């Protein structure tokens, strides 16, 4: 039988050129570059709550890291290191090998060293801590949105939730829509370069990643910044034409698992943000406006300026 330490050594230990000391001792040793501060985030992924138990392990390995890197992206931080703790119901070396293939593929794509972690026997779950660097005092935060700021969102939120609805049998998606929806759910792309450019170019005041739903996460910016906002349905990304429009809109507004970025920016930055979208080949949608000092108040408006009722904002683990 494979021991815990053989399991770690065989599957989870790779070179860590960005660390002073990587896996193998009681602690890893790292040091931020001169003039940088560390941005640190952690997330849990639990079978049955955050992913379906039969999820492909390679895709799951990718996603376990990517969802944490999305938090670093939202703060304009460059990912550098990560630690992974995992609970496994049994030792299946083919399953673990596929999981680590996905994990290290994501790490390689974003330039991250896996510098340590832990394994134990138990229900299938993972907890990953990601560490990045950002120039001192320059991190993008949730509490910096200003009156009259535009609100922007990247990509196409809602696809991941549509993919999940398909897997759960709540809808049936056909190609060519099915493939991008499943990719958004199972192999999300953290918008690291977008976050870096928003911070470098001084384009964004406040930012957050969309993990629990567009309305819910935008609400965190509004609450943190003590402002209100209007969100314009007609200026959101177009809904997929072959999906149920009611479900597609619900997924877009409250589905979650998107890992796109929502940010606020001054109106005079519109041309620069449009140019950045072209530079990154990533759609950026100007979809709202910060309108007043009513902390957390969000009004959804249709194309005629009429208020649209908000029945659901997003995912809440304890809601």
Binding residue ranges for Mg(2+): 26, 41-43, 71, 118, 209, 212
Residues in the annotated binding site for ATP = 117-118, 142, 211
What span, in angstroms and rounded, lies between the C-alpha atoms of 99 and 87?
Answer: 13
Residues in the annotated binding site for substrate = 50, 257, 315
Between helix 178-186 and helix 159-167 the angle, nearest 10°, is 100
Residues in the annotated binding site = 26, 41-43, 50, 71, 117-118, 142, 209, 211-212, 257, 315
Residues near 79 by beta carbon (within 8 Å), at least 6 away in sequence: 69, 72, 110, 111, 112, 130, 131, 132, 190, 192
What span, in angstroms and rounded, lies between the C-alpha atoms of 219 and 287?
Answer: 14
- In the DSSP assignment, the letter for residue 158 is T
Side-by-side strand order, sheet with 298-301: 206-209, 261-265, 150-154, 284-292, 228-232, 298-301
Q: Which two tokens stand for residue 11?
A: 């599957």
Residues near 317 by beta carbon (within 8 Å), at least 6 away in sequence: 49
Both ends of the chain: CA-CA distance in Å?
A: 42
Nearest to 65 by CA among 207, 189, 185, 181: 189
For residue 130, what are the CA distances in angstroms to 68, 79, 113, 283, 290? 6, 7, 10, 26, 31
């Amino acid at each position: 039988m494979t021991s815990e330490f053989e399991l770690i050594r065989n599957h989870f230990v790779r070179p860590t050129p960005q660390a002073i000391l990587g896996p193998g001792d009681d602690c890893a040793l790292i040091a931020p570059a001169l003039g940088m501060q560390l941005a640190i985030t952690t997330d849990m992924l639990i079978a049955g709550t955050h992913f379906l138990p039969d999820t492909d392990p390679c895709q799951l390995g990718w996603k376990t890291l990517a969802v944490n890197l999305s938090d670093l992206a939202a703060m304009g931080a460059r990912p550098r290191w990560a630690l992974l703790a995992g609970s496994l119901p049994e030792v299946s070396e083919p399953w673990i090998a596929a999981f680590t293939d996905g994990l290290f593929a994501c790490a390689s794509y974003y330039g991250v060293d896996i510098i340590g972690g832990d394994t134990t026997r138990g229900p299938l779950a993972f907890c990953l801590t990601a560490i990045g660097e950002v120039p001192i005092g320059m991190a993008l935060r949730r509490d910096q949105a200003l009156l009259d700021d535009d609100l922007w969102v990247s990509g196409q939120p809602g696809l991941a939730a549509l993919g999940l609805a398909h897997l759960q049998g709540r809808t049936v998606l056909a190609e060519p829509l099915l493939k991008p929806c499943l990719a958004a759910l199972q192999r999300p792309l953290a918008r690291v370069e977008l976050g870096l450019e928003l911070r470098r170019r001084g384009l964004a005041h406040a930012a957050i990643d969309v993990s629990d739903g567009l309305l819910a996460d935008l609400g965190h910016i509004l609450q943190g910044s003590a402002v209100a906002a209007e969100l314009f349905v007609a200026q959101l990304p177009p809904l997929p034409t072959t999906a149920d429009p009611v479900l597609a809109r619900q997924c877009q507004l409250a589905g979650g698992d998107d890992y796109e970025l929502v940010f606020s920016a001054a109106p005079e930055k519109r041309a620069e943000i449009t140019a950045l979208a072209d530079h990154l080949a990533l759609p950026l949608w100007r979809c709202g406006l910060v309108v007043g000092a009513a902390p957390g108040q969000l009004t959804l408006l249709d194309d005629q300026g009429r208020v649209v009722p908000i029945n659901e904002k997003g995912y809440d683990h304890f809601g």
